[in-house]
Amino acid sequence: MQSTLKGPSPDLAGWTDERNGAMVRVVVREMKSAAPLGTAAPGEAVQVALGACVEELFGAGTKLARASLLGGGASMEAWAVDAETPRGPVALLVRRAAGGRIYRDALSLAQEFRVLEAAWDAGVRGREAFAMERLPGETVGRRIVQRPELEAARAALPGQMAEQLARIHGLVAARLDFLPGARDEEPLRRSLDVLEAQLDEVGEPHPAIELALLRLRRDLPRGGPRRVCHGDFRLGNLMVCAGGLTGVLDWEFAHVGDPREDLAWPMVRAWRFGREQLRLGGIAQPGVFLERYGQLTGLRVAPEELRVFELLGNLRWAIGALTQARRHLSGEERSVELAVLGRLAAEVEHELLSLLHEGGA
Give the lowest-confidence range in 63-77, 195-209, 290-304, 309-323: 63-77
pLDDT for position 102: 60
The mean per-residue pLDDT over the stretch 191-201 comes to 95
**Residue 313 near residue 265 (C-beta atoms within 8 A):** yes
Give the lowest-confidence range in 169-178, 272-281, 340-349: 340-349
Q: Are strands 255-257 and 227-229 parallel, antiparallel or unpaired?
A: antiparallel
Closest CA to 78 of 18, 139, 19, 26: 139
Closest CA to 132 of 55, 73, 59, 78: 78
pLDDT for position 307: 95
Closest CA to 351 of 268, 286, 273, 274: 268
pLDDT for position 73: 55
pLDDT digits (tens, 9 = 90+) for 56-99: 878 888 888 888 776 555 556 777 788 888 888 888 777 665 55
- 97's CB contacts (< 8 A; 6+ apart) are 75, 76, 77, 109
Distance CA 80, CA 136 (A): 11
pLDDT band at 12 (very low <50, low <70, confident <90, very high): very low
pLDDT digits (tens, 9 = 90+) for 18-51: 444 444 444 444 444 444 434 434 467 777 777 8
Strand order across the 131-133 sheet: 63-69, 76-85, 88-97, 131-133
Closest CA to 265 of 218, 228, 306, 318: 306
Closest CA to 254 of 94, 88, 114, 59: 114
Residues in the chain, overall count: 361
Closest CA to 297 of 248, 263, 251: 263
pLDDT band at 14 (very low <50, low <70, confident <90, very high): very low
pLDDT for position 225: 94
Helix (H) or strand (E) holding 93: strand 88-97
Closest CA to 351 of 359, 201, 72, 325: 359
pLDDT, greater one: 240 or 76: 240
Identify any residues that bridge with 138 across adjacent strands, giving them in sequence order. Answer: 240
- 354's CB contacts (< 8 A; 6+ apart) are none
pLDDT band at 103 (very low <50, low <70, confident <90, very high): low
Count Cβ neighbours within 10 Å for each residue of 70-81 and write b for 16 or more, e otherwise. eeebbbbbbbeb
